[in-house]
Amino acid sequence: MTSTILLAAATFATVFFFSCGAAHPTTHVGSNYTAPTGGPIAVVGMVYCQNCKHHGSWSLAGAETIAAAKVSVICRNYKNRVTYYKTFETDLYGYFYGELKGFKMVHPVLDHPCTDAM
C-alpha cells in the first residue's frame, strides 16, 4: 500500500506562524498604551502521510505522522526574491517547532509571507 505524503501546513493549516507581541493590539483614544515592537517569530506544525483511501481530499482519517521529515520555510520579498530560508526536522511524533531567528520583514505590505515545503 502506498501513501501520499502531505505537509500539514500546506494542506491542512496546522502550521502557525506567530510572533510574541506582534499582534495588532486594540488601542483606546487617550490611553498611554504603547504597542509592542515584536518578538521572536516561530513556525509550528505536524507532517502527515495521508491514507490512500482519502487521496485528493482534506481528510486525515487513517493518516500517520512522519518522524524525521525535513520542513523548509521560505520567505520572499515583493520582488519574489528569497530573503529567508531555514529547515526544521520533525520529532518522533511528526511535530516541529522552529524560531525564525534573523528573519526581518522590511515592508509589511510589499513583502510576501513565508511558505513551507517538504
| Tens of pLDDT, residues 57-72 | 999 999 999 999 999 9
Q: Is residue 35 part of a domain?
A: no
Cell of 34: 504603547
**pLDDT tens sequence across 44-58:** 999 999 999 998 999
DSSP-derived secondary structure for 20-40: TT-S-----TT----------
pLDDT in tens, 1-20: 433 334 443 333 344 444 44
Say if 107 falls within a structural domain.
yes
The three cell numbers of residue 77 are 520579498
Number of folded domains in the chain? 1
Domain assignment of residue 14, given as a range: 4-21+40-117
Q: Is the pTM of this model over 0.75?
A: no
